[in-house]
Chain A
Amino acid sequence: MQSLLSFKHGVHPPEHKDITAGIASRRFPFPDEIILPLSQHIGTPAESLVQAGDRVERGDVIAQAAGFISSSVHATASGVVKSIELWPHPNGTMVPSIRIDVDPNSTQMQRPRIVPRWEEVEDEDLSGEIGKAGIVGLGGAAFPSHVKLTPPKDQPIDLLLVNGCECEPYLTSDHRTMLEHPEKVYLGIRIALKALGISRAVIGVEANKPDAIEVMRNTAPHDLDVTVQALQVKYPQGAEKMLIKAVMGREVPSGALPSSIGALVQNVATSANVAAVFTTGQPLIERIITVTGRGIRKPGNWVIPFGTRLRDVINQCGGLTDDAAEIVFGGPMMGLGQANLDVPILKATGGVLVLSRDECKRQDILPCIRCGKCLEVCPVFLNPQLMGALAKAERFEELAADANLGDCMLCGCCSYVCPSNIPLSQLFAASRVQLGRLAKLA
């Protein structure tokens, strides 16, 4: 057997993907209220274009990008704008959000609209069309795609890496996207290649999804220079820089973007949604989301319109079990713990994970025993043990300057292996926030 490509270090947590991997995605019923935060992406929040009382149809632009690194927001269901007010956001703050009372009698058909023929659009204008559709990276970071597709002139891209790793345990939304919509993924790849003016793409898929690899290989168009590459099952294989290391054997320099070594990484779900823009004209208003965990009664893969409240998602999926203990947006390794059932589903929400008490046992945090396990797993070769000590002592400046906190991608491998249960990546996340605060105070 050919040895699988991979990166050094990393961990292999139990996958738990069998809960939902075999369940075909289904359309989610429209809730009676949709809440769309103006900030669902990295960058400047969008500017609202609507006022209370306005009627909006599904797919209409309701907030436009404010600046280059920003992204538009579209109505994900037809209805009437109720208000624009502060609303709980999955990141734990309150942000201005557009509340829409969904019309119960609407067919939720989109307005007929002119769909640009991608073959005829100029290469440079493609990213503009993608930006107008509010497409952001669906792998989790929600970085606006049109920004990624216009790399700096002095850093030409020569390889498109399509990310179908889905290395987070439990999640199966990318898996289902590849199984159910391979043609959309390939069309998205074609469009991205045209926008970048290059010809070669590699799709990286972890070897624990043999059916997805087979489907992608069988449906690969013959005129496209694209390889489906099976990768070792290891977390965080799907992290941008790890995928580049595994496939290209090259390392992205500290502090630099993948474009500095000529690579661009796009998630399979992002590709599929780019394809939708140029086939049906549908902007980014919904995606496949895995609702899973032992704490939810009916796990499954659903096409959920963004802005659906967590409460509605849970009710639709049969409700919580008696021993449900924790709700996470995203996977268990990097996901965001949720405190409020009113938070809406966002563009970058790949999964809703409801953990039962057994799955997230509380354990006492013990002193560091300097075993060095965290050093052995850190995929970016940092020293989490030293960083943890600095973070606990609140020596934030040293943490950033001497311990390279900026290179940490908060993947959580160190926290996962720590025998003393020290929540290292949480400490690092908090340290970054604090560094930002102190810079503002000074």
Chain B
Amino acid sequence: MSGSPIIDSALILGSVGLFFGFLIALVNKKFKVWEDPRIDAVDELLPGTNCGACGVPGCRAFAEAVVSGKQEPSGCTVMGVDDIDDVASYLGVNAGAANKRVARLLCAGGYEEAVQHSDYAGYATCKAAAAVAGGGKGCTWGCLSLADCESSCLLDAIYMNENGLPVVVPERCTACSDCVETCPNDLFVLMPMDQKLIVQCRNLLNGNAAEDLCKVACNACNKCVADSEPGVIEIQNDLAVIDYEKNSLTSPQALTRCPTNAIVWVEGQQFKESSPGSVKTGRVLEQEKQVA
């Protein structure tokens, strides 16, 4: 070969590059898979959180499902009503009946209400505390206030309030069930927003035994059962259980005589607190120190 090595190698690499370039172009033409351009467009409209709460893995898969008609736009629990309408009008389909679900905590026994038998001073997660004599809380069913749910929530929809209870922000909650899976005491349930009557307790004791452990425990007194439509509330294992199949029959009337306020009527957010992120408990700060 003649010429300088630089020109030689440039020629060789250039021709190899051109050859493969043509090959790729050829293959791209021959084996092209047509994809509905609307999928990309719908994907753009979706929130992109990839939370999985709709039942398919990620927003792209949900966009495909919506375009192919397998899901309705309202299947996305993250979007607001306006956004759902945008998707529906773009595709010209029915938005579907949006029934937003959120995570609700079946415990209202924070630092103020519940009795603490002893202090837990170890690794600050609920799971670790639950492994040591149930974390020292008198009520062994209750919230351990060590914020496993707060750290599991990727959407910042949960924060701990000063009373040691997780506040779920309904606007942010997508009902993805991460908190349901992480809570060692199984205190979270996903509920449609229109189920407003909630028994915020899982304590299986009755009478004074329950009230001795927590001011807001259900003591199985049966008053809410008598005050609501027949069959709506039932006492099972010393705990009032609401039959949500009869949700349309529920009314705030059931709370009127509850001696402990264990049963509540929730509109929107479950626990009151100031703006998200501004409230930190001592335990959460301790946990942050350990993580850092």
Contact = CB atoms under 8 A, between A and B. Distances in A.
Interface in B167-185: 180-182, 184
Interface stretch (B69-77, B79-87, B91-99, B132-140): B132-140
A339 B137 CA distance: 8
B205 A426 contact: no
Interface of A: 85-86, 88, 90-94, 336-341, 362, 364-365, 394, 423, 426-427, 429-431, 433-434, 437-438, 441
Contact of A92 (B130, B209, B290): B130
Interface residues of B, number: 29
A438 B177 CA distance: 12
Nearest to B132: A337
Contact of A86 (B121, B128, B205): B205
Given A362-B121, A441-B181, A430 B133 contact: no
Nearest to B291: A392
A437 B185 CA distance: 10
A430 B186 contact: no
A340 B12 CA distance: 81
A437 B135 contact: no
Given A94-B204, A336-B133, A88 B140 contact: yes
Given A94-B204, A423-B128, A426-B131, A365 B123 contact: yes
A433 B184 contact: yes
B130 A430 contact: yes
Interface string B49-65: 00000000000000000
Interface of B: 117-118, 120-123, 125, 127-128, 130-138, 140-141, 180-182, 184, 186, 204-205, 209, 290
A430 B127 contact: yes
Of B130, B135, B180, the most chain A CB neighbours within 10 A belong to B130
A434 B118 contact: no
B128 A426 contact: yes
Given A433-B184, A434-B127, A340 B205 contact: no
Nearest to A92: B134
Contacts of B290: 364-365
A85 B134 CA distance: 19
Given A365-B123, A423-B122, A423-B123, A434 B184 contact: yes
Given A92-B130, A340-B133, A430-B127, A86 B184 contact: no
A337 B133 contact: yes
Contacts of A427: 123, 128
Given A85-B209, A91-B133, A92-B135, 19 more contacts: A86-B205, A86-B209, A91-B134, A92-B134, A94-B205, A338-B133, A339-B136, A340-B117, A340-B118, A426-B122, A426-B123, A426-B128, A427-B123, A429-B131, A430-B131, A430-B184, A431-B127, A433-B131, A441-B181
A431 B131 CA distance: 9
Contacts of A429: 131
Nearest to B182: A394
Contacts of A433: 127, 130-131, 184
11 contacts: A86-B205, A92-B132, A94-B140, A336-B132, A339-B137, A340-B118, A340-B138, A426-B131, A430-B131, A438-B181, A441-B181
B134 to A, nearest CB: 3
Given A339-B136, A423-B128, A437 B123 contact: no
A333 to B, nearest CB: 14
Contacts of B182: 394
